[in-house]
Structure 1
Amino acid sequence: MDSAFAEIYIRDRRTSDRDPRMTRTPLVPDAARIGRTALTVADLEATAAFYRDVVGLSVLAETETTATLGVDGTALLVLRRDDDAPPRTDDRAGLFHNAFRVPSRAALGATLERIRDRSELSGASDHYVSEALYLADPEGNGVEVYADRPRAEWPRTEDGKIGIGTVSLDLDDLVSASDGAAAAPPGTTVGHVHLEATSLSASRAFYADTLGLQVQTESPSALFLAAGDYHHHLGVNVWNGRSRPADGRGVAWFEFLVPDEATLTTVRRGLAAADASVTEREAGFEVEDPSGIAVRFRAE
């Protein structure tokens, strides 16, 4: 970051060291959230059926090569068939999982019933801030479906950050809370996206230092970052030693939604000042992160 933007960041950071009341305004504001996520797939029909019948999304639009799924008319997932895209190899960066957040424990219990009936559960955890179910789609892409605990119950660390942990989840208790719904209810969103990166330090420089996401929880091999005071909108890990940029099937892009066009313009200018290559896309723009994963920005 040897740009004018970096100079502003360094100056503001030094100022904040002298006066903790003065801090740099992040490019991605506190009100931002994850919008849609997109996958490149080989078997469009089977993958769309999985997200419809197991995750509980509705098919909002489809062609021979694409399918858009969501809830209550809001698009959350875009699937694109590409017969020429090679399978993702073990050394490629990419998606760890897309995480769909349902608005209640009853909805999460219903999801567990659908998973048991039509798919296979690969994991389940209580993360203190949420309860989560894990599985994979027919193409091997990781999927999490989770429900947040009430925000007042989220644990805090001594420095005020949100504490995320992992303990076992009582599945019998969860399924007893099910409302039996056959589909995800209104209020379902993509709560966060979790990536497998080639470099944790480079990912931190891009997502935290440049975009201004707040690191909520970290370890030597993973970061969990958020816009504002959410537990995390983005997870990044290097657990599996991915050494090459993302390519082929798997994550095509994911997006941050910002509140308005003025904010979108601010983010675009800040990234350009940080020497990021910005590509215009529908109603917004796109940049690549250090692992070659496309990140889009769009106004609500």
Structure 2
Amino acid sequence: MTRSPLVPDAARIGRTALTVADLDATTAFYRDVVGLSVLSETETMATLGVDGTPLLVLRRDEDAPPRTDDRAGLFHNAFRVPSRAALGAALERIRDRSELTGASDHDVSEALYLVDPEGNGVEIYADRPQEEWPRAVDGTISMGTAPLDLDDLLSASDGAAAAPPGTTVGHVHLEATSLPASRAFYADTLGLRVQSESSSALFLAAGDYHHHLGVNVWNGRARPAGGRGVAWVEFLLPDAESLAAVRRGLAAADVSVTDRDEGFEVSDPSGVAVRFRLA
């Protein structure tokens, strides 16, 4: 086990990137339904975010094959909004312009689920106050799943047409080929804290958050990630020394590192690219 975590407590998820076939339709979905703003756009790429902060990169590759049922990859991107009023407004947009596929009360948060035009899972959620999160004696977090009262949530809506400032990618949930291998990489090597786990899923965090990363093997993915879908997931680190320390630790663990976008990138055991850069 790592004696001290490589990834510091102040780390958080930055951007995620998706490879898509239909850039226009996918961009419109994340703009009109999720409520992100288009920050930049070319014929082959779009960057969306909130209040000038990029959260999602969409890359057009019409030659990339569709993700097959046996490949690892994205379970969902989870956009965290800063209030229940904003979550209610998201529900209104989903009902007007898309289709809700699920809604749950997880004790730590209230969450809405849907699917983008390329088949990528999307969660939009609002956290409950941290002092209300159920915890075990060892400090880990217990997350339940109960039906969400949608009428009550709608009554809280502020009617906003877009996601408000303070919206982030709160967490990313991946489908893996091996849970033990994922645990070894994310918990033992990177030092993310396991906040909750079962025989088929892990929920990990930097610091005391309920989770920045979910990993599951619910659907029996046997082949590494590839084709359309998740291109990379990014962790933001608070300072240059933290970034250098993660790089040194990965090198010491014989993990291959590639320079990328003012930081670097590695592949997790399921072939998902994970990037690190300064916040």
Give the TM-score range, shorter chain. over 0.9
What is residue 268 of structure 1 aligned with on the other side?
247
Report the count of equivalent residues.
Answer: 279
- CA distance, structure 2, for counterparts of residue 53 and residue 279 of structure 1: 35
- CA distance, structure 2, for counterparts of residue 39 and residue 282 of structure 1: 16
Quote the offset at 1:262 in angstroms.
Answer: 1.1
Counting only pairs closer than 5 Å after superposition, residues 174-213 of structure 1 correspond to structure 2 as 174-213=153-192
What is residue 221 of structure 1 aligned with on the other side?
200
What is residue 5 of structure 2 aligned with on the other side?
26
Quote the offset at 1:160 in angstroms.
Answer: 1.5
Quote the offset at 1:289 in angstroms.
Answer: 0.1
Query: Normalization by structure 2: what TM-score?
Result: 0.99
Counting only pairs closer than 5 Å after superposition, residues 269-284 of structure 1 correspond to structure 2 as 269-284=248-263
Query: Normalization by structure 1: what TM-score?
Result: 0.92
**Does structure 1 residue 160 correspond to structure 2 residue 139?**
yes
**Aligned-partner residue type, residue 120 of structure 1:** E
Unaligned stretches of 5+ in structure 2?
none
Quote the offset at 1:142 in angstroms.
Answer: 0.1
Counting only pairs closer than 5 Å after superposition, residues 69-88 of structure 1 correspond to structure 2 as 69-88=48-67
Quote the offset at 1:158 in angstroms.
Answer: 2.2
What is residue 251 of structure 1 aligned with on the other side?
230
What is residue 142 of structure 1 aligned with on the other side?
121
Can you list the C-alpha shifts for 1:20-60, whole angstroms capped at 9, x where unaligned?
xxxx2200000000000000000000000000000000000
RMSD: 0.6
- CA distance, structure 1, for counterparts of residue 180 and residue 146 of structure 2: 27
What is residue 21 of structure 1 aligned with on the other side?
none
What is residue 49 of structure 1 aligned with on the other side?
28
Quote the offset at 1:298 in angstroms.
Answer: 0.5
- CA distance, structure 2, for counterparts of residue 156 and residue 29 of structure 1: 21
- CA distance, structure 1, for counterparts of residue 140 and residue 230 of structure 2: 29
What is residue 130 of structure 1 aligned with on the other side?
109
The secondary structure found in structure 2 opposite 1:286 is: strand
Quote the offset at 1:163 in angstroms.
Answer: 1.1
Can you list the C-alpha shifts for 1:150-186, whole angstroms capped at 9, x where unaligned?
0011011122211111111000000000000000000
Higher-Rg member (1/2): 1
Can you list the C-alpha shifts for 1:189-233, whole angstroms capped at 9, x where unaligned?
000000000000000000000000000000000000000000000
Identity percentage of aligned residues: 84
- CA distance, structure 2, for counterparts of residue 180 and residue 83 of structure 1: 36
**Does structure 1 residue 93 correspond to structure 2 residue 72?**
yes
Which of 57, 60, 79 is 2:39 aligned to? 60
**Aligned-partner residue type, residue 230 of structure 1:** Y
- CA distance, structure 2, for counterparts of residue 237 and residue 251 of structure 1: 15
- CA distance, structure 1, for counterparts of residue 5 and residue 80 of structure 2: 25
What is residue 270 of structure 2 aligned with on the other side?
291
- CA distance, structure 1, for counterparts of residue 182 and residue 144 of structure 2: 22
Unaligned stretches of 5+ in structure 1?
1-5, 10-23
Can you list the C-alpha shifts for 1:265-289, whole angstroms capped at 9, x where unaligned?
0000100110000000011000000
The secondary structure found in structure 2 opposite 1:187 is: coil
Which of 200, 217, 225 is 1:238 aligned to? 217
